[in-house]
Amino acid sequence: MKADFSIIKEKLAGKGKNYYFVIIGIIGIMLVASGETETRKKENAVQQDYFLYEYKIKTEKELTEFLENVEGVGKVKVIISLESGQENIYAQKEKAVNNIKKENSTDGYSDSSTYENEYIIIKNTGEEQALIEKTMQPAVQGVAVACSGADDISVVLAVTNSVSVVLDVPTHKICVTKMR
Q: What stretches in the chain show pLDDT beneath 70?
A: 1-22, 31-42, 44-45, 86, 96-113
Instruction: Please tell me the distance from the alpha carbon of residue 145 to that of residue 68, in angstroms, as a whole number.
Output: 11
pLDDT at residue 101, as a whole number: 61
Domain boundaries, the chain: 2-86+137-178, 88-130
Chain segment 30-64, per-residue pLDDT in tens: 766 666 566 666 676 677 778 888 889 999 999 99
Torsion sign (Cα): 11, 15, 17, 21: negative
Instruction: Please tell me the distance from the alpha carbon of residue 153 to that of residue 17, in angstroms, as a whole number.
Output: 85
* CATH 3.30.420.10 for domain 2-86+137-178: no
pLDDT at residue 105, as a whole number: 56
State the DSSP H helix or E strand holding residue 49, giving kind and residue range, or none if neither.
Answer: helix 17-68
pLDDT at residue 1, as a whole number: 47
pLDDT at residue 114, as a whole number: 72
Nearest to 163 by CA among 52, 177, 53, 135: 177
pLDDT at residue 116, as a whole number: 74
pLDDT at residue 50, as a whole number: 81
pLDDT at residue 159, as a whole number: 96
